């Protein structure tokens, strides 16, 4: 069982690393005003992985897809009719939702 959990975490981490390192000049981290270095991308991938690890597979898939859309070039996401910052906002809302539940002790 622990091997499956480790494999799940490793796959999630690799997917977040790939989606956050796409389009390094104009990705979500660069639009937030931070310099693009691999340490920041690595720490972002670790944080997203740890926050999304215990969620359902549907929410994990949604976060990965939203992260991919948020980090693509501007023309790619405008083809869907929405700005990339909207995708990034929804992705971050899904990622920090467990932290808010933990902070406000909303679990029964």
pLDDT tens, 35-53? 878 888 899 899 989 889 8
pTM for the full predicted model: 0.82
72 DSSP assignment: S
SS3 77: helix
- Give the whole-angstrom CA distance, residue 92 versus residue 66: 9
Query: In the predicted model, what is the mean pLDDT of residues 86-106?
Result: 86
pLDDT tens, 3-33? 998 999 999 999 999 988 888 888 888 888 8
Ranges of each domain in the chain: 2-104
**Which among 50, 90, 52, 39 has a CA at the least distance from the CA of 69?**
90
Half-sphere exposure (Cβ direction) of 94: Cα atoms closer than 13 Å? 23
| Whole-number pLDDT of residue 108 | 58
Residue 99: pLDDT band (50, 70, 90) is confident
């Amino acid at each position: 069982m622990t091997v499956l959990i480790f494999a799940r975490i490793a796959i999630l981490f690799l997917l977040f690393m790939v989606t956050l390192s796409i389009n390094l000049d104009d990705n979500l981290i660069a639009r937030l005003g931070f310099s693009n270095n691999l340490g920041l991308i690595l720490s972002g991938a670790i944080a997203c992985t740890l926050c999304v690890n215990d969620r359902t597979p549907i929410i994990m898939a949604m976060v990965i897809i939203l992260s991919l859309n948020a980090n693509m070039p501007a023309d790619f996401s405008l083809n869907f009719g929405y700005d990339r910052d909207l995708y990034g906002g929804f992705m971050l809302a899904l990622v920090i939702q467990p932290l808010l539940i933990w902070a406000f002790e909303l679990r029964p």
